[in-house]
């Protein structure tokens, strides 16, 4: 099993450009999450999904959109990138059942917006 994978690993954008980050998991997890990690601020939840076709806002959703058309994939979109979106982005997934709550993280995407 590959676990949770993310594409791309690195990206540099200019202000105003758009891009999509792809997260894929092969563990048949119902729940998927997108976080951003900034120095001294831990991991903050951007958006999450409780199943195929569902999405919901997290703590810091502004400037991002997401889609979950397939259970194994969760896409994070930036329509018009801003320097404040420079960060490391982590995707995670987990089971929904009680007692199986560990979130498994992907390797991260380092995004720089100039």
Partner 1 sequence: GENVEQHPSTLSVQEGDSAVIKCTYSDSASNYFPWYKQELGKRPQLIIDIRSNVGEKKDQRIAVTLNKTAKHFSLHITETQPEDSAVYFCAAILMGYGNKLVFGAGTILRVKS
Give residues in contact with partner 1 (CB under 8 A): 31, 33, 40-45, 48, 50, 56, 58-59, 90, 94, 96, 98, 101-103, 105-108
CB of 48 to partner 1, least distance (A): 5
Please tell me the distance from the alpha carbon of residue 64 to that of residue 60, in angstroms, as a whole number: 9
According to DSSP, the residues that pair with 6 across neighbouring strands are 23
CB of 59 to partner 1, least distance (A): 8
Please tell me the distance from the alpha carbon of residue 39 to that of residue 1, in angstroms, as a whole number: 31
CB 106, CB 6: distance < 8 Å: yes
Name the residue nearer to partner 1 (CB basis): 22 or 43. Answer: 43
**Rg over CA atoms, the chain:** 13
CB of 5 to partner 1, least distance (A): 11
């Amino acid at each position: 099993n590959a676990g949770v994978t993310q594409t791309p690993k690195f990206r540099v954008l200019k202000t105003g450009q758009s891009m999509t980050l792809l997260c894929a998991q092969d563990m048949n997890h119902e729940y998927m999450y997108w976080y951003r990690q900034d120095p001294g601020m831990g991991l903050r939840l951007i958006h999450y999904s409780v199943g195929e076709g569902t999405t919901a806002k997290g703590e810091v959703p502004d400037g991002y959109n997401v889609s979950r058309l397939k259970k194994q994939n969760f896409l994070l979109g930036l329509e018009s990138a801003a320097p404040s979106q420079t960060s490391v982005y982590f995707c995670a997934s987990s089971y929904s059942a009680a007692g199986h709550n560990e979130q498994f993280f992907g390797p991260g995407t380092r995004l720089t917006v100039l």
